[in-house]
Amino acid sequence: MEISPRRTGRPYDHSSDDRILAVTLDLLAERDYERVTLDEVAARTGKAKTTLYRRWPTKEDLVLAAVRAAGRPPEAERLPDLGSVRADLLAVLDSPWLGGPDRRLAIFAGLSSATRGSERLAEVVRSEVTEPYVEVYRRLLLRAVDRGEIAARLVASVPVLAEVIPAMSTHHLAAGRGPVRRDFFVSLVDDVVLAALQVR
C-alpha cells in the first residue's frame, strides 16, 4: 500500500514548491481570485507555467494547495499563556501566522472573495483558515472562564465574541479604511470583547 516512486527519469524538483504556494497567496492578498493568473504566478516564481500544471492540475487546485499549506494558526495547539486574558488576546494579534497581521488580513480578504465562486474552496477556507482562527479566540476565552477571570454566567456569549476580532478587522479592511492600526485592535479587545465579558 505504498506509493511507489517513479524509478526512472529526472525527478521532480520540489525545492521551490513552498515559494510557489507563497507567491500564490501573495497574489491572492493583492487581487481577486479571478484576477490571479497562472501566467503571473509563473512570472513571479521564475517557473514555467507547464511546471505549475505538472503539480496542480487546475488553478483551483493550486489555490487550494496554497491555502492548505498556509496552515493553521500556530496557537491552535499552543495557546499564548501570559497570565491574563487581555495579554493573551493581544498576543494573538502579533502572531506571525500568514506573515503577520497585515498580510494575514489581506489574504483573508482575498480568500473571502474567492469563496463565492467555488464550494470546494469555500469549504477548505472555512475549515483550514477561518474556523481554526476563531477557535483560538474561543479557547482563550473559555480558559479565562475556567480561571474565573470571566463570570461563568457569560459562557454563552463566548462563541459570538470569539468572532469579533476576525470579523471586525476583515470588515475594516473590506470597507476600504486602509491598514488596521494597532489601536483599533486594542479597542476591539478592550471596548468590545472584554467590555462585553465585564473583565475588570
Partner DNA sequence: GCATTACGATACCGCCGAGTAGCGTAACGG
Partner DNA sequence: CCGTTACGCTACTCGGCGGTATCGTAATGC
Q: Which residues bind DNA (CB under 7 A)?
A: 6-13, 35-39, 46-51, 53-55, 57-60
Q: Cβ 133 to a second copy, closest distance in Å? A: 10
One residue of 97, 172, 180, 199 binding a second copy per CB under 8 A:
172
Between 58 and 127, name the residue whose CB sits nearer to DNA: 58
Stretch that binds a second copy, among 3-11, 15-23, 75-83, 164-172 (CB under 8 A): 164-172
Contact between 41 and 52 under an 8 Å Cβ cutoff? The reply is yes
Vertex 186 angle, CA 170 and 139, to 5°: 75
145: cell is: 472562564
Q: Does 125 bind a second copy (CB under 8 A)?
A: yes
Residues that bind a second copy (CB under 8 A): 31-35, 109-110, 112-113, 115-117, 122-123, 125-126, 130-131, 154, 156-157, 160-161, 163-164, 166-168, 170-172, 174-177, 184, 187-188, 191-192, 195-198
